[in-house]
Amino acid sequence: MSKAHIGESIPRREDIRFITGKGRYTDDVTLPDQSYAVFLRSPVAHAKLIGLKTSSAIGMPGVRAVYTAADYEASGLGTLMCGWMIHSKDGSEMRTGVHPPLASGRLRYVGEPVAVVIADSKQMARDAAELIDIDYEDLPAVTDLTQADSPDAEQIHDDVPGNVAYDWELGNKDAAETAFADAAHTVSINLTNNRLAPVAMEPRALNAMYDQRDDRYTLYITSQNPHGLRMTLAAVIGLAPEHKLRVISEDVGGGFGSKAFNYSEEVICTWASRLLGRPIKWTADRSEAFLTDAHGRDQRVSAELALNADGRITGLKASITANMGAYLSTFGSLIPTYMCAPLLSGQYDIPAIYCEVKSVFTNSTPVDAYRGAGRPEAAYIIERLVDLAARKLGMDRAAFRRQNFITAFPHQTPVLSQYESGDYGAALDKALEIIEYDDFESRRLEAKSRGRLRGIGLATWIEAAGIGPSKKLGELGSGAGLWESAQVRVNPTGSVEVMTGSHSHGQGHETTFAQLVADRFGISIDDVEIVHGDTDKVQFGMGTFGSRSGPVGMSALAMGCDKIIEKGKRIAAYNMDVAADEVEFEDGEFFSPGSNTRMAFAEVALASYTAMSFPTDELEPGLKSDAFFDPPDFTFPAGCHICEVEIDPDTGVTDIVDFVAVDDFGTVINPMIVHGQMHGGIAQGIGQALLENVSYDEDGQLLSGSFMDYCMPRADDLPSFETEFSNTPTPNNPLGIKGCGEAGAIGSPCAVISAISDALDIDHIDMPATPMRVWSEIQGRSA
């Protein structure tokens, strides 16, 4: 029997099927009478859509149907919706525009779905799609987010004047202005947070079918949030009542946020599957993924920091322009506002903060959450300012940070967040020690002797993970509750099945969730099955995003396990002939100090189902529990990332020679998995800092639409990371867990840019710090 305890590095159970090619991904599902969809997409960024000629396509062999916006509109179904209402400074509601699943009247970005062809094979559908004529009239494309609200910019949505979705603010403007008026020193910076593509290994895919016999839809889909999708298809699109829809997301090959949103393709294919009476499969190719998976980041920022004569931070102001793309995606409005501005205090005690965010539409792919979602942007703003302030004051960057750290908890920032626990100095000290910070200048000199520019960079980052509570977030504009649920079913022989509303798409939940149950019940991990990703099996859930499965999903599961133990005590009490409150449970056994009988977990399970040892009018037979956990607040993971780089001045190529991360994730369930999450996130953050950039030309054509143009980090771009913990459990959930899934991507970009700026002895360099940009900086030119 393999026992499993919290804190043990148990190998991931799911990896056996993944590495032996036994994973079952959506594209692996082929159904009887399978047909295939290919979407015809807009070739231009902005145009008036005059008409579509589909007759040649309809006549092609194997083609079952061609549908356009006119067909969809005739069905009376709804359009796609953004799930978070933001109010502007003047109290007005954000302007959303209308987001039709198939372009209607206007083409707004390259790649927007215009029509769908359904045929007996993908190739037949593709050939037919090429025969559809799009009659359109070009309109000027809005591609520069800083110009989107200028008076001469073309208006993208009829009901969104000036292309501004909202102009929002947070914090106390007067207090911040006073801090700046009284400041002994100020620093300011203009930043670009570059646009990123999510590039999950498995592209988006779905297979939709309608079963006439049950009058029910089944949608297999690569989703991070099957219940959320089902709810949207039912309540927003109006496709069918929720109980007539089943959404199944089995193995999902990564998402990084991008599979938590609602997209056109699932609406259209599910709707069409009923019209045709055939299942419809759609799998994006990589080019479609680059064009249509919601992008991340894309902000321009100007920010300032006020300091007193002692080098204490007294105020911060930030003005953010955020690109929403052509349409507001599911969480698009939330990311630059409530997921970003409340983190602007960083790890520092800053009495006055004011932030304003203007979100604009442009003729580009919609922008939404991507690993970190708003928090990397906030960390980047405060960490770049802090570096700049230390430089201006001639102070060591670590010492400057330390003297401004928050040291007492809970700490209420001026921008909503209340940090619950932490020891920022401890994480900083540990990271400095591991990287041998005090000896850095000798390494710099040694590198110089080899003609290389060596730099060191720090980021003491913080984020908000484990989103909740529902009521507070409802007041801030959320359209959905942000709790999580778990159902624990104990079988008569003592094995356990858990239905969780969290969804694993690379995070190892089948291991960590089972580890928690095995630890709680004192049973073998082999006796625990984790079920997720099927709306017919799991009652309801909010899915996985915002690093919430640990803090929120596992907490619901812990509550569910505790309810089982409580009932088990009552059952055991009858068997032991003692009062229920005299029964204790430890290490898999129920016992009472007043009795010499001990009952193993499985014995109590059996007793609960034989139902002979207790009065069933007082105690229901069976052993099953349901739990919903709504957290009292976010958790605030934090840490210190330190990066060392060497730059070749002749080529501008940056080598990351060392990277240390010491992070606080509260109670750690499985250190190996958490280290893995840190590694993945750090790699993505380094990608943002050095290599990755979604770029469009001035006509709105995507220039980075393949891996030849969009540069992902590879193993040889990265050093072997040194990752450690400096944990302080959170009081905000019963397990003390803080989320870890995004942390790596939050601290690392700041640390890398800090290191490159240090190596070049400059204030700042923009991301991505490509060889061209670094080389140009060395030459004193702009790239």
Q: What residue ranges bind ligand MCN (CB under 6 A)?
A: 200, 254-257, 371, 505-509, 512, 544-550, 554, 665-670, 673-674, 677, 680, 737-742
Of the candidates 518, 486, 490, 481, which has an alpha carbon nearest to the alpha carbon of residue 502?
Answer: 486
Q: 669 or 756, CB closer to ligand MCN? A: 669
Q: 428 or 517, CB closer to ligand MCN? A: 517
Q: 508 or 705, CB closer to ligand MCN? A: 508
d(CA 547, CA 636): 11
Question: What sign for the dihedral angle of Cα 474, 193, 644, 763?
Answer: negative
CA distances to 231, 238, 265, 322 from 76, rounded to whole Å, are 18, 9, 17, 33
Q: Specify which residues 454 forms β-bridges with.
A: 646
Angle made by CA atoms 391, 193, 721, in degrees to the nearest 5? 70
Min separation Cβ 674 and ligand MCN, Å = 5
Min separation Cβ 223 and ligand MCN, Å = 12
Min separation Cβ 455 and ligand MCN, Å = 29
Q: 252 or 447, CB closer to ligand MCN? A: 252
d(CA 338, CA 359): 13
CA distances to 50, 144, 156, 419, 469 from 629, rounded to whole Å, are 51, 43, 41, 20, 9
Min separation Cβ 628 and ligand MCN, Å = 17
Amino acid at 381: I
Min separation Cβ 62 and ligand MCN, Å = 35
Q: 101 or 551, CB closer to ligand MCN? A: 551
Q: Decide: 544 and 555 in contact? Cβ < 8 Å.
A: no
Q: 97 or 680, CB closer to ligand MCN? A: 680
d(CA 133, CA 56): 9
Q: Specify which residues 112 forms β-bridges with.
A: none
Min separation Cβ 566 and ligand MCN, Å = 24
d(CA 663, CA 682): 12
Q: 295 or 401, CB closer to ligand MCN? A: 295
d(CA 294, CA 262): 10
Pairing of strands 245-248, 216-221: parallel
Q: 67 or 545, CB closer to ligand MCN? A: 545
* Tokens encoding 705: 């639409």
Min separation Cβ 199 and ligand MCN, Å = 10
Min separation Cβ 635 and ligand MCN, Å = 9
Min separation Cβ 515 and ligand MCN, Å = 8
Angle made by CA atoms 252, 253, 254, in degrees to the nearest 5? 100
Q: 113 or 741, CB closer to ligand MCN? A: 741
Q: 506 or 568, CB closer to ligand MCN? A: 506
Q: 507 or 592, CB closer to ligand MCN? A: 507
Q: Using CB atoms within 10 A of its CB, is residue 503 exposed (0-12), middle (13-18) or buried (19+)?
A: buried
Q: Using CB atoms within 10 A of its CB, is residue 698 exposed (0-12), middle (13-18) or buried (19+)?
A: exposed
Pairing of strands 113-119, 164-171: unpaired
* Tokens encoding 383: 């960490």
Min separation Cβ 80 and ligand MCN, Å = 21
Q: Hey, which bits of 648-720 come out as E strands?
A: 654-664
Phi then psi for 593, rounded to 5 degrees?
A: -60, -25
Min separation Cβ 471 and ligand MCN, Å = 21
Min separation Cβ 677 and ligand MCN, Å = 5
Q: 313 or 740, CB closer to ligand MCN? A: 740
Min separation Cβ 773 and ligand MCN, Å = 27
Q: 548 or 567, CB closer to ligand MCN? A: 548
Min separation Cβ 620 and ligand MCN, Å = 31
Q: 529 or 648, CB closer to ligand MCN? A: 529
d(CA 140, CA 475): 39
* Tokens encoding 624: 């099953």
Q: Using CB atoms within 10 A of its CB, is residue 262 exposed (0-12), middle (13-18) or buried (19+)?
A: buried
Min separation Cβ 741 and ligand MCN, Å = 2
Q: 637 or 652, CB closer to ligand MCN? A: 637
Q: Decide: 717 and 63 in contact? Cβ < 8 Å.
A: no
d(CA 249, CA 757): 44
Query: For 97, what's the count of Cα atoms within 13 Å in the CB-facing half-sphere?
Result: 29
> Contacts by 468-476 with C-beta closer than 8 Å and gap 24+?
468/548, 468/552, 468/630, 468/631, 468/632, 468/633, 468/634, 469/630, 469/631, 469/632, 469/633, 470/630, 471/630, 472/633, 476/338
Q: 369 or 769, CB closer to ligand MCN? A: 369
DSSP-based helix, strand, coil % in the chain, nearest 5: 30, 25, 45
Helix (H) or strand (E) holding 135: strand 133-138
Phi then psi for 428, rounded to 5 degrees?
A: -60, -50
Q: 372 or 477, CB closer to ligand MCN? A: 372
Min separation Cβ 742 and ligand MCN, Å = 5
Min separation Cβ 19 and ligand MCN, Å = 14
d(CA 381, CA 301): 8
